A = this chain, B = another copy of it.
């Protein structure tokens, strides 16, 4: 499994992904699931991936090829696309075409491979936008009402986001929220695992402003995680129980 989350805040976008990949329980590896494409000051695009590794890797490779193609057009290259909506369309089309081609063969086995992606970015003069691209290539967009998107094992980490994240949430609180959301997921699902990739894109900077890989045993992350556990337990102890008696 995977857990990736993106927040679309007024001040910027906060992105977090894990790196665990498994084919069965006896074949576990680490693969990056966060990718960025930049023309600093002009355009920034980040893509988070979940699902079949053969599908996500081939999709990213094809997106990169299309960028480097000397005959690239605004219809084919995510760095030339006129809008973030068009970027999401290109990602969706590429994802679907890879999957569709794979499935022609996989179905002979009764198998299939699917993947989903979060596409977040901004081009100069436009606003920040964030999309969740489904395995079939269609997509939805984060809005004021729902300023976060999740892919993969999303349920364990959703309650804290539901309670905390609003468009006006600060970048710092956004980082805290995604890390604590990931912490709950790591505790509850073994197939989501460290290291983590954290990135921040500030509004109107059109570049990745901050990026950090958080390794297993990272002292900062552990301090935050332990602090949260302690705070939760002490809050729990303080809540009065009214229902009985």
Indicate if A104 sits at the interface (CB-CB under 8 A). no
Instruction: Classify the interface of chain A: helix, strand, loop or mixed.
Output: helix
B156 with A232: CB separation less than 8 A = no
Least CB distance, A125 to chain B, in whole angstroms: 28
Contact B159 A188, beta carbon cutoff 8 Å? yes
- Interchain CB contact (< 8 A) of A210 among B221, B234, B244: B244
* A:132-171 near B, CB below 8 Å: 155-156, 158-160, 162-164
A14 to chain B, nearest CB (A): 10
- A171 smallest CB distance to B (angstroms): 8
Nearest CB on B from A78, distance (A)? 27
A71 within 8 A of B: no
Return the chain B residue nearest A212 by Cβ: B243
Return A222 CB to nearest CB of chain B, in Å. 9
What CA separation (Å) do A173 and B240 show in the bound complex? Answer: 10
Assembly of this chain: how many copies?
2
Contact A231 B239 (CB under 8 A): yes
Distance (Å) between the CB of A149 and the closest chain B CB? 15
* A interface with B by C-beta (< 8 Å): 155-156, 158-160, 162-164, 172-173, 175-177, 179-180, 184, 187-188, 198, 200, 210, 212, 214, 219-221, 223-224, 227-229, 231-236, 238-244
Q: List 8 A-B contacts (CB under 8 A).
A: A175-B243, A179-B243, A210-B244, A212-B243, A223-B242, A227-B240, A228-B239, A232-B232
Q: What 11 new A-B contacts, CB under 8 Å, besides A160-B232, A219-B242? A: A155-B156, A159-B184, A162-B188, A163-B229, A164-B236, A172-B244, A214-B243, A220-B243, A224-B239, A224-B242, A231-B239
Closest 7 CB pairs of A and B: A155-B155, A231-B235, A220-B242, A159-B184, A227-B239, A176-B241, A220-B243
